[in-house]
Amino acid sequence: MKRVKGIKLTDKKYKEYHSDFLRHNKMMKNEPDLKYPSFDDYVLNRFGKKKHQRVFREMRIQQTRKIEKTEAPKSLAGLQNSCCKKDRMQYNGTRIVALATMHKSNTVAISREEDPIAYATMRRS
C-alpha cells in the first residue's frame, strides 16, 4: 500500500496511475500548460481533490507565406478566360418547325421543307 498526499493506493493502482501519468504527459509534450508537474498532482486530480491549473497564454501566430504573382507563360498569354463557361446556345431561327421522335428515342429536327406527317408514319411502321 502506497500513499500519495493522504490517498492510499494499492500497488496495482499505483502502477496503473503512474503509467497513465507518463502517457498523458507524453501526449501533451507540445502543450506544456496541459502537463502535470508531478505524479502527486495527477493522482489528486484523478481523485477530484485538486483541479489542474491551466495557464493561459497568447496564441502563437504563424507567419504566412507570401505568394509572388507570376506572369503567365508566353504560350498562354493570348488565352485569357479560356476556362470560362460558354454561353448557352439557343436556336432562334425559323427553318426548324418541330422535333420528331424516331426509333429508340432518337430525336430528329423537322424543317419547313419536310413533311412532319411522313415522320409520324415512319415511326409506326
- Whether residue 20 has pLDDT greater than 60: yes
pLDDT tens per residue across span 29-72: 888 778 888 888 888 888 887 776 666 777 777 777 777 777 76
Q: Is the pTM of this model over 0.75?
A: no
Higher pLDDT, 22 or 114: 22
- Here the cell at position 107 is 430525336
Task: Give the per-residue pLDDT at 123.
Answer: 57
Other residues' Cβ atoms within 10 Å of the Cβ of residue 4: 20
**pLDDT at residue 59, as a whole number:** 73
Q: How far is CA 107 from CA 14, 58, 87, 111, in A?
A: 82, 68, 23, 13
pLDDT at 82: 64
